[in-house]
Amino acid sequence: MSRKKSLIIVGGGGLCREVIWLAGECFDPGDPSADWRVKGVLDDTPEKQGQSYCNVPVIGTIMDWEKFQDCYFVVAIGSPRGRRSVVERMLSQGDVNFATLVHRSVRKSEFVTIGGGSIVTAGCILTTQITFGMHTICNLASTIGHDVVTGDYCTLAPHVAVSGNVTIGDGVEVGTGAIIIEKLKLGKGCFVGAGAVVSKDLPEDTLAVGCPARSIKTLPAF
């Protein structure tokens, strides 16, 4: 018999609505017998107070999380820099129970480790000896090959393909449909544009686009 665990989603945008749906179809890797019940949304935008997302109410601002310490939280913000900022703000007030959400359709071996606060959405395939850092998002129908390691706060958009033996640094964002060739290293804070094919290592905090991908801009340090 399953039991309900209360979840609050932090951040009221499009990803929030997707995570509301996702939570209803997830299992908790740390407690497979439990089901998630989405209690509410926290967002700092004044106009969003009192509104709702997919029938889930906005129940306060981000720093109101302390009022709900019996709940679990997940930060539904796509930007790695934005997600890290919110997590750090919350942690500045104390310990937070961050949920890890994995959709029931995800195919993965027992040799996959997923960090706290992370989200793995429908249709993803994670093979073996894979480690995801904390607060990392692996979006719809992405595939992750063997011996891949990501840092914390990474975002992999829908239909990303990561080949084996790839190391992805903290705060890396990979756009929709991008391909990462095997045995590469992506430095922390870099951004891979949608549809890019990465065939060589990328330095930290760079924007890379194209096929093959090339660095065109230096981003603020992650």
Complete domains list, the chain, with CATH? 3-91 (3.40.50.20), 101-209 (2.160.10.10)
The residue type at 181: I
Cβ neighbours for 62, distance < 8 A, ≥ 6 positions apart: 10, 42, 43, 44, 86, 89, 90
Phi and psi at residue 136, in whole multiples of 5°? -105, 145
| Cα gap 176→161, rounded to integer Å | 9
Whole-prediction pTM = 0.94
Q: Using DSSP bridges, classify how beta strands 167-168 and 149-150 pair: parallel, antiparallel or unpaired.
A: parallel
Instruction: List pLDDT tens digits, range 101-127.
Output: 999 999 999 999 999 999 999 999 999
Please state, in angstroms and rounded to a whole number, the distance separating the CA atoms of residues 135 and 107. 20
Give the DSSP letter string of 106-150.
Answer: -EE-TTEEE-TT-EE-TT-EE-SSEEE-TT-EE-TT-EE-TT-EE
The tens digit of pLDDT for each residue in 1-35 reads 557 899 999 999 999 999 999 998 886 666 665 68
Contact 182, 108 (CB under 8 A): no
Low-confidence ranges of the chain (pLDDT < 70): 1-2, 27-34
